[in-house]
Structures are given as C-alpha cells and as structure tokens.
C-alpha cells in the first residue's frame, strides 16, 4: 500500500497571528501554513498572496478589518501555486497582479497543480466548492511595476528564479519592508518541487541587497529586525544548498533517485527535521534536484499521478 504524503494527514487547525511588520504593513501567519501580506495605503489595501480558498481568505479579511475599513483594491500573487492563489475571488479586488512568467505558468500547469495540491493538502482545501476556477491576473509585468496606494509607493518586481521561474517580491520603500513569497521561509521547509536550485541563492542575495528592516516570508513567523531577516535568508540558503549538493553528488556518479533521497535525508534531517512541512516537501525537493542535476532546467509538471509514481520510486 502506498504511504500517504505527510501533509495529507495534517488536519489540525493552526494558530493565526497577525503581526505588524511596519507602519500599515502586516503579516498573516499560521504556524507554517501559507502566509499573506497586507499593505494599507492612503485610500485602499493591497493583499499579497490570496490563500488556497475563499474560506481561508475570509480569515485574512477578518484580520484586515481589525485594523482598517479601507477597501481592498489589489491582490498581488508572487507565483502560481494553488495554495497561494485560489482564494483571490473573496477579496473583490479590482486588480490581480502577477509576473508575466507566473501568468503563463497558470495556463501551462495551473490546473494540474490545483489537482495535485488538492490531494496533498486536504485541510487547506476545505471549502473548495467556493473556488470559481483558476485565478488569472488582470495585470502582468515583466521585470517590475509600481503601484501607488494614494501616496504610498509599492514596487513589485522579479529578482530571479527561486521557488518558481515566475517569482515576484513586493517592496515598500517608505518602511524598507519586503514581502518575499516562498523565496524566503522561516523555520519552515522550502518547497523546491518547481524550483531552480542553482539560481535560488543569487536571488536571496538580491533580496539581501535591499537591506530590509523586515520581511513577511512565504511561511513561518514574520521577520522583524535586520538580525532576524539575515538569519532567515541564511537559513533558507542553507536549506536549498543542503538539499541540492547531496543529490548532485549522487547524479555525478550515476546513482538512483532512491540513493539521492537517502543522501538528502542524511544531510538535512539533523538540521531541518523539525521545520514545518519538512516531511511533505522532501520527496518533491529530491525529485526536482535530481532532475536539475541531470540538466533538466524547466521543472516537470506535477500531477496527482506523478506524485504517486515519484513516492513509490523513493520508497524503493
């Protein structure tokens, strides 16, 4: 009998925190579940990451309404993953923003990702019946764009491939705060199944070059203060490096996917086994690292069938 993914059995509710990371800036976090950012402007609100369902999005809205009654005008999606985007309809925003690469990935693999993640994360998709369909942007950009929420400037940009090929970050210059999506995590495993290992550290360096005073990461606690920001960026880089290098060594000697899995466990378990969603991410991370080390630059599309095929191979 095929063993279920670790996340499939995780049905316990998570404690929600709503943390101020700057003036008019907040991070909605929930013990390693996907985070959402909130940017309050002069006359409206921007949401960063929509959550997996309208049901979860309403929890974000409840927190927003505890600090402002301004309307939600914009939703920015840092990438295409279903757990990040499918709750967008709940906000009633006039603009939904993605990078053009992320928008193309919605068309290329959005439905397959939804189907796959639905099986991986049943708790996050409770209330899925309300999802109206794939979330598509109303506005896209190539390298960067700027939105003004009244006088508040918000810069949305791509700084390199990492968690996906279409990752965007959001920079609020008046507070020197960045919303990074899943490029940066805190005490949570990086999901690298659609990632680019050899680019990730350079992208982290590009984030660090802004010298953020705070970061709202993709998962884990809000990062307030330059020391905490630096620690999280360094730990994320270590996680990515510690996952990829053992796999690259196995591939170089002609080893198997199962051997790569064993090598990553030996390297990563001592350092990261207590991280949120670590056991869930590990098989996808090893499979993607194995492909990238063999020269496959574009991550293969995950489907529910491929998830099971990969898991069977890793079990030997």
> What is the C-alpha separation between 165 and 153, in angstroms, rounded?
25
pTM of this structure: 0.95
The whole-number mean pLDDT for each consecutive block of 10 residues of the chain, a chain of 316 residues, reads 54 89 98 96 98 98 98 98 98 98 98 92 94 98 98 98 98 98 98 98 98 98 98 98 98 97 98 96 97 98 87 78
Q: Which helix (H) or strand (E) holds 106?
A: helix 100-120
288-292, long-range: CB < 8 A, 24+ apart:
288/192, 288/193, 288/194, 288/195, 288/197, 289/192, 289/197, 289/243, 289/244, 289/247, 289/248, 289/260, 289/264, 290/247, 290/250, 290/251, 290/257, 290/260, 292/196, 292/197, 292/198, 292/244
Q: Give the pLDDT confidence score for residue 119 in this predicted structure.
A: 86
Q: Give the pLDDT confidence score for residue 20 in this predicted structure.
A: 98
> What is the C-alpha separation between 149 and 254, in angstroms, rounded?
54
Q: Give the pLDDT confidence score for residue 1 in this predicted structure.
A: 34
Q: Give the pLDDT confidence score for residue 308 in this predicted structure.
A: 83
Instruction: Give all domains of the chain, ordered by start, each with its CATH number.
Output: 17-226 (3.60.15.10)
Q: Give the pLDDT confidence score for residue 83 in this predicted structure.
A: 97
């Amino acid at each position: 009998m095929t063993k279920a993914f670790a996340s499939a059995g995780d049905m316990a509710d998570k404690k929600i925190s709503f943390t101020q990371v700057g003036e008019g800036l907040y991070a909605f976090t929930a013990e390693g579940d996907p985070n959402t950012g909130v940017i309050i402007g002069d006359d409206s609100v921007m949401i960063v990451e929509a959550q997996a369902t309208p049901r979860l999005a309403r929890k974000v809205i409840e927190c927003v309404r505890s600090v402002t009654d301004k309307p939600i005008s914009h939703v920015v999606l840092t990438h295409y993953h279903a757990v990040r985007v499918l709750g967008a309809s709940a906000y009633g925003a006039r603009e939904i923003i993605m990078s053009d690469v992320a928008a193309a990935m919605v068309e290329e693999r959005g439905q397959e990702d939804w189907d796959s993640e639905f099986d991986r994360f049943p708790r996050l998709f409770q209330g899925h019946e309300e999802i109206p369909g794939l979330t598509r942007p109303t506005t896209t950009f190539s390298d960067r764009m700027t939105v003004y929420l009244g006088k508040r400037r918000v810069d949305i940009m791509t700084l390199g491939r990492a968690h996906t090929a279409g990752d965007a970050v959001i920079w609020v210059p008046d507070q020197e705060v960045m919303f990074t999506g899943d490029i940066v995590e805190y005490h949570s495993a990086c999901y690298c199944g659609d990632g680019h290992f050899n680019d990730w550290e350079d992208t982290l360096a590009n984030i660090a070059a802004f010298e953020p005073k705070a970061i709202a990461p993709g998962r884990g606690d809000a990062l307030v203060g330059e020391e905490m920001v630096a620690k999280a960026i360094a730990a994320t880089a270590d996680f990515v490096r510690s996952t990829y290098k053992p796999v690259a060594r196995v591939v170089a000697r002609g080893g198997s996917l199962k051997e790569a899995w064993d090598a990553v466990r030996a390297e990563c378990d001592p350092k990261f086994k207590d991280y949120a969603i670590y056991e869930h991410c590990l098989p996808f991370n090893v499979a993607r690292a194995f492909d990238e080390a063999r020269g496959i630059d574009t991550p293969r599309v995950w489907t529910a069938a491929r998830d099971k095929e990969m898991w069977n191979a890793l079990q030997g």
